């Protein structure tokens, strides 16, 4: 009986398995490359935003605080 099923259902060819393995590895590589480039872009944006916020904070600390005159205690 098992010999009959062997003829009905062909075994998976190694070429097909190798092609799927190559596709899987290639897909993982491109996904990893894309995620790393997105992370790098995010880090650059974050550092630029942090630098701008530090400049804004230094500018605000140097300005005259008018609101403080009304809230003296």
Q: What is the chain's pLDDT, residue by residue, as a tens digit (73 residues)?
A: 555 655 555 566 777 788 889 999 999 999 999 999 999 999 999 999 999 999 999 998 888 877 777 877 5
Give dist(CA 56, CA 21) in Å, integer.
52
Please state, in angstroms and as integers, the Cα–Cα distance from residue 56 to each residue in 12, 40, 45, 61, 64, following that order. Answer: 64, 24, 16, 9, 14
Statement: the pTM of the whole predicted model exceeds 0.85: no
Sorted by where each begins, the domain ranges of the chain are 36-63
What are the Cα distances from residue 17, in Å, to 6, 20, 21, 28? 19, 5, 6, 16
Dist CA 48 CA 42 (whole Å): 10
């Amino acid at each position: 009986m098992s010999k009959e099923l062997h003829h009905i259902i062909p075994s998976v060819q190694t070429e097909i398995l190798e092609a799927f393995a190559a596709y899987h590895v290639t897909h993982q590589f491109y996904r990893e490359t894309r995620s790393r480039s997105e992370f790098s872009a995010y880090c650059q944006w974050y550092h630029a935003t942090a630098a701008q916020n530090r400049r804004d904070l230094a500018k605000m600390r140097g300005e005259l605080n008018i609101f403080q005159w009304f809230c003296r205690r």
